[in-house]
Structure 1
């Protein structure tokens, strides 16, 4: 059963839009055919081998053109905050809204410093700025849609820092909550005379045992909005604020007792999440790949680290002395390895034969030494080293290295634990996502990060590798999204 259907989505970045459009086509394809057709997997095989045309050409002509055209109408390449693009989104909503019983709005607009409540007062507050990049005003577009179309439910996601965000000495979360509860008043400054503007009751998605979903629950403790992904079957310690707004006229007594998200008996470790993905080694940045040169660089760095450590960390040194670089491994692979788990069976279709978006970065030679040290340290101590535990001669030349602000800049993802939060910063460097195996000496690939985010393996990320990392890091885990949708459906179907 598919109680929800995605009618329109908006994305400003070109490569992310290409990814979104292809997935819109995929959903339409599966719904029409009943399962993923062989044509789609054949296309993924061409992509993996570097032989594929762009999906807009491959699927946009011939047999699948009607579905591709539908996908293009659904997934829009828009920059909200630009007037013509705002209009295009509203026109699309207007065109399709009557095809559905109710509307659900989903988004994660940046809004910490741009709540519209008391904007004139906030301008007088030291530290407040009304200027910003276009993305800072996505919050206003979110409120515009709430005020204009009064969706049955909205879901808004943000980082948990929003709970303590301040402008000057003013706490912003209470103002943001007022905006969301009465979007029309937030936009106009007061309720509009003669118009029955819809208000919203703001509630948490998840409930602990014996709790009831009430406004008092989050009024007393706004942290009740926080979802801790590792508690709900996601192999990642991702903590996010997720607010559910229910239109007042749809509130009913059963809302309080609709169960929250499923709670896992145990956390899913990274090793299980990455089962079946082939082992890879890293490379050296800014030069053509050469396994023997990489091996030499690894051995040189290993010996240098051992010299720097001296007698200070004998157990870590003992591990490094035994380290033999896996120079026989490739930098990328499109073939699955042996191994699976109950978790990965949910993400991998048995008809898929190729691995996508799975290639390693090249690293500076000095970072290879740091990665080896960190991975060996984590094996020994069951945690990553802090900056204070780094030998000074091994530390990077960063101005803020000793400030304490980035004490865990180099962080190993331990195979027996869920990962840390996958963020878009992974696009800049992999220092916070070091693979646990020092012989591979690398950061995580896009596909590995996607697995930790619970994307299915047939989800193809478009664009270059940097753009792919950003797309993965910015996402809400699809498995979590499905669980949230179940809560919303349980509420509105009554």
Structure 2
């Protein structure tokens, strides 16, 4: 709702109380600023815009009445959205349809077969596979001039239980939504109030490719590789553009950028920070939490034992040398950041993205605060970041010296190293980041900062920059909830 409040000021400066609220550290000050915001008419307007509801679980009349009210008086409007992606993601499919470690170790073929059948039945009966039909009903009933539908690239290869591709079915249904929902049990009396005068179909276009001579697209034409269009992230998503068939509109394709935007370009201006200490030496050993710059430096140095350094030297003398250099030059002045960190971000105002991110009235950056990490992970983070600098790539678990392997039994087997090969991943300075997902809320192992001197994972603000949230975008809730909002922007 807070972001809806800022949209109510489109074309006008945001009020001072907004900046006071998002910069406030003291709870009493934050409450006072929130009360000032709540008194403004734009806050009431935001309350009318925001509605937290789940399709399929709310009444037909309530849903469509709200939509009709929202679009009243507008001839040109668009519907944006997409079904949940968990059912279509390659990772999600693999995890949910796998037979599990216990069955795999049993070597019982019949047991493994039954487990596969059980998991497949549960997977294909999941309502997430057909929630797109709720979206489809809105398209059919309200006939938007255009719509945009987004999902993960795994939707291109996802099949239904009859073996057919769900993406083919989605294209067919979106092209003729009324035919697609002909068998739906719509509430007759309520539905009659919302029936459109004409029932149109849609042409489904790609944002990045032109159709062939027959006006058709290949499946791959709907896949957008965001890093090709200036986004500092290798985020690959299927995005469909539906245009109502009675409109004489020819879409224009996005143009690829000449060069890709690197991670360092969008987070390199942010203040350098150190990580925090969780108080855990390893998963099994907890000590009193002492989190100062001095104890952090001591913990990092203690984690990089002579045994670890010798293992690294045997693997790569160059990486060993870089790690030694870091250990000798750890900065005692690094802070952990905070809810608001005064600084001058985006000093290079000529950068293509500066206009989008920058807000001179902020006077600093929001939510640039590091997580806690256990001491044993400092050695892994330092190794991974040093590896990234030297090899310009992120190491797989098979590249780790044995003394740096995680303290998990599966990480010490060849099978485990194959399955969990990306357990620790450094985000490289000179490339776009890898895809930011909701997993970032759990730990920072997939999102390690490229600077070995900082020995940490990305902050909420750094992840938000990767996801192209403007700097004045404030994420409510605790830090875990903030990471989840960044990793799942459709929330």
The TM-score normalised by the length of structure 2 is 0.80
Of 156, 172, 176, the match for 2:166:
172
User: 1:322 matched to which residue of 2?
Assistant: 325
Instruction: State the Cα distance separating 1:155 from its structure 2 match.
Output: 0.3
Match of 2:476 in 1: 462
Q: Helix, strand or coil: the match of 1:241?
A: strand
Pairing 1:78–2:83 present: no
2:153 maps to 1:160: yes
Larger displacement relative to structure 2 (224-233 or 258-267): 258-267
CA contact (8 A) 2:153 2:237 kept: yes
Equivalent of residue 206 in structure 1, options 194, 205, 208: 208
**Alignment check: 8 A CA contact 2:313 2:319 kept:** no
Matches of 2:213 and 2:470 in 1, distance apart? Answer: 34
Query: Matched residues in 1 for 2:213 and 2:343: separation?
Result: 47
Is the aligned partner of 1:27 residue 2:27? no
Give the deviation of 1:440 after TM superposition. 0.6
CA distance in structure 1 between the aligned counterparts of 2:405 and 2:431, rounded to whole angstroms: 26
Residue 103 (structure 2) aligns with: none
Aligned: 1:409 with 2:423: yes
* 1:79-478 → structure 2 map (5 Å cutoff): 79-84=54-59, 87-110=61-84, 127=121, 131-132=125-126, 138-168=131-161, 169-189=163-183, 196-207=198-209, 211-212=210-211, 216-218=215-217, 221-250=218-247, 252=248, 255=250, 258-286=251-279, 287-304=289-306, 305-323=308-326, 324-333=329-338, 334-337=341-344, 340-341=347-348, 342=351, 343-398=353-408, 400-401=410-411, 402-403=414-415, 404-475=418-489
8 Å CA contact 2:17, 2:33 repeated in 1: no
2:97 aligns with none
Unpaired stretches in structure 2, ≥5 consecutive residues: 89-118, 187-194, 280-288
**Partner Cα separation in structure 2 for residue 279 and residue 46 of structure 1:** 21
Partner Cα distance (2:131, 2:26) in 1: 36
SS at match of 1:276: coil
Contact in 1 for aligned 2:315/2:401 (Cα 8 Å)? no
Structure 1 residue 373: Cα displacement: 0.5
User: What is the root-mean-square deviation in Å for CA atoms of aligned residues?
Assistant: 3.0
Deviation of residue 174 (structure 1)?
0.8
- Residue 112 and residue 423 in structure 1: after superposition, are their counterparts in 2 closer, same or farther (change >3 A)? closer
Contact 1:155 1:244 in 2 (8 A): yes
Is the 8 Å Cα contact of residues 227 and 239 (structure 1) preserved in structure 2? yes
Q: Taking structure 1 as reference, are residues 180 and 236 closer, same or farther at Cα in structure 2, changes over 3 Å only?
A: same
Seen in structure 2, the aligned counterparts of structure 1 residues 93 and 229 have a Cα distance that, compared at 3 Å, is same
Change (3 A) 1:191 1:150: farther
Alpha-carbon separation, structure 2, partners of 1:163 and 1:447: 32
* Higher alpha-carbon deviation: 188-197 or 275-284: 188-197
CA contact (8 A) 2:158 2:167 kept: yes
Q: How many residues align?
A: 432
Decide whether aligned partners of structure 1 residues 113 and 265 sit closer, same or farther in structure 2, where only a CA change above 3 A counts: closer
Structure 1 contact 111–139 (Cα < 8 Å) conserved: no
CA distance in 1, matches of 2:183, 2:74: 31
Quote the residue 1:117 is aligned against.
none
Q: Hey, what's the Cα distance between the residues in 1 that align with 2:481 and 2:43?
A: 23
Gaps of 5+ in 1: 1-20, 115-124, 477-494
Contact 2:200 2:245 in 1 (8 A): yes
Q: Secondary structure at the match of 1:443?
A: coil
Aligned counterparts of 1:368 and 1:378: Cα–Cα separation in 2: 15
**Residue equivalent to 1:36:** 14
The answer to whether the 8 Å contact 1:298/1:325 transfers is no
Q: Secondary structure at the match of 1:322?
A: helix
Tell me the CA shift for residue 47 of structure 1.
5.1
1:248-270 Cα distance to aligned partner (Å, 9 max, x none)? 111x3x51xx4312322211111
